[in-house]
Amino acid sequence: MGRNKYPEETIRKILDTAERLFIEKGYDRASLQEIIQETGLSKGAIYHHFASKEEILYSVCDRIGQRNGEILSEVRDDPRLSGLEKLRTIFKVSLQPERQAKMFCMMPYLLDNAKFLATEMRSIFTEVAPIFIEPIIRQGLADGSIHTDHPRELAEAMMLLSDIWINPIVRPTTPEEIQARCAVYNHLFQSFGITELIDREIVDTLVGYAEMAHPPALNEESVN
């Protein structure tokens, strides 16, 4: 068999198909065999580019993250906004359906998979906090909208709590728990001048994503 002259197209086809199946069924229920059947590729062609279904998921998430990064860069570099306004905008755009709805539908709970959880934390420390949040906080220091002596550590703490503690994809989370954590989150960062970062709209969005990804089980009476 001749060498594949268009490996980029093959990879794109695999990722497009896997992303759709992961969203429709969730990562755990979508099988590698289904990806093979839907793409029309041989098992060898799939394994030539990806060693496992898990590796395919990482690549799908990376691709979604790259698209999200472009949006966050636009907010970070917007000269019309203060540091605090950029933080508020960052939180809102990060929850838009293009990325988050897909992530919530396809991902397993992070506490059930140590590798996924470690990957999320590594992303916070090496990408999200230093590339997007810290520069915004430093701008807030310059324009007077944010107050801190430790911008890097503040950026890391903000993202660890929002992406790990509040995020309903980490573990099963009730609407009441989400609302309580968001209230505590807002209170924790008020002393830095960061007020109303998580508003009612964001809380409602988080609740909706939790229900979208892992809807409540039917009770016994409704089943019988």
Whether 89 contacts 57, CB under 8 Å: no
Note the residue count of the chain: 224
Contact by Cβ (8 Å): 139, 77: no
3-state helix, strand, coil in the chain (%, to 5): 70, 0, 30
Residue 10, Cβ density class (10 Å: 0-12 exposed, 13-18 middle, ≥19 buried): middle
Is 222's pLDDT higher than 80? no
For the domain 65-223, what is the CATH code? 1.10.357
Residue 90 has pLDDT above 70, yes or no: yes
- Give yes or no on whether 1-51 and 65-223 have one common fold: no
CATH architecture of 1-51: Orthogonal Bundle (1.10)
Q: Give per-residue pLDDT as tens, 143-197.
A: 999 999 999 999 999 999 998 999 888 888 888 899 999 999 999 999 999 988 9
Q: Whole-model pTM?
A: 0.80
Q: Given CA atoms 163, 165, 167, 171 in this order, what sign does their dihedral have? A: positive
Q: What is the dihedral of CA 215, 216, 218, 221, to 10 degrees?
A: -160
Domain ranges of the chain: 1-51, 65-223
- With 90 as the cut, is the pLDDT of residue 214 above it? no
Handedness of CA 106, 112, 113, 119 (dihedral sign): positive
Average pLDDT, the chain: 85
If pLDDT is split at 50, 70 and 90, which confidence band does 35 have? Answer: very high
